Structures are given as C-alpha cells and as structure tokens.
Homo-oligomer: A and B are copies of this chain.
Amino acid sequence: VKNSKVFIIIGSDSDLPVIKETSQVLNEFAVPFKIFISSAHRSPEKTRNLVNKAIKEEVKVIIAAAGAAAHLAGFIAAYFPLPVIGIPIKTEGLGGLDSLYSMVQMPPGVPEATVAINGAKNAGLLAIEILAVADKKLAEKLKIYKKNLAAVVEKKDKKLQKQGIENYLKK
C-alpha cells in the first residue's frame, strides 16, 4: 500500500456529499489519500492527533472542509507546516459567507489556501498541482487535464452550433 499524500478532514459527516468530488478527482489522478471526520470544536484532540499522524506519515497536503464558524482548516494550519487547503461549506442562513470569511481571513503567519464555497473539486485539483511541483508525471497529467477541459467545452459548443439553442435545451 502506498502512503497517503493527502489527508481530507471534514468537520461533520454532512459534508461527505460535497467532499466526494475531491475524492473523485484525487482518484482520477491516482493520488493516494485518506478521509477523516473530525471537528475542531467537538473533537479537538482527535483533530490534533490527525495532524500528528499526517506529519508522521509524511502527508504533503491537508484539505479541510467545514461550514459556519469553519475553524477546522485554521486549527490544522496552526500545527501543520505544509499546505492546508480550506473548502468553505455552503450554509443555510448566510449562503457560506460565514464559512468563507472564517477560512480566508487567516492572520499573518498562518496561511490557508481557500477555494470557492463548496469548491471541493478545485480543492482536489489544487492539492494535485501542489504535488505536481515536484512530480513531473503529475505535472504532465495536469497539462493533459487542462487540454481536456478545453476539449469538453469545444464539444459542447460544436453541439450548440449544430443543433441551435432550441434543440440543445430540449434535451
């Protein structure tokens, strides 16, 4: 078994449907990872232990998803010396603004790489880009991935040119 390069830590199992996209993109790039549920506020010891475990197992990047007060990624960043990526989870009342501000506005000295509200796929991709800094094969895969993004757009546009807006929307 390969060592995990990435740990994903979520504050609540209600965040699992969002984080699924992160796991899918990491699998697509064959990056080994593990997912854990642990809260900064309800299980701080466990969260702390997970960071220690990550350091011991030479994990390279930790992705943390949390909503509302959303301190999880910051809590981790206080102990973890390598990149921490934060996914602000959409909330009911404030649409995720609370999660976003709480993650992105970290104080000088303790950075946190924040992605979009519910931006779980991009959190995975950012982790891959970080790993690719020292992994030429991964960097090559990213270039292909980028080309593929363009190809998918191209295909949809071709379909639109062929069918027109009315027919495109019918399906």
Is the CB–CB distance between A36 and B131 below 8 Å?
no
Question: How many chain copies does the complex carry?
Answer: 8
Chain A residues with a Cβ under 8 A of chain B: 11-13, 16-17, 19-21, 23, 35-46, 60-61, 67-71, 74-75, 77-79, 81-83, 85, 90-98, 100-119, 121-123, 125-126, 129-135, 139, 142-143, 145-146, 149-150, 152-154, 156-157, 160-161, 165, 168-169
CB distance from A163 to the nearest CB of B (A): 11
Is the CB–CB distance between A43 and B150 below 8 Å?
yes
Is the CB–CB distance between A94 and B117 below 8 Å?
yes
Is the CB–CB distance between A71 and B117 below 8 Å?
no
CB distance from A49 to the nearest CB of B (A): 11
Is the CB–CB distance between B101 and A101 below 8 Å?
yes
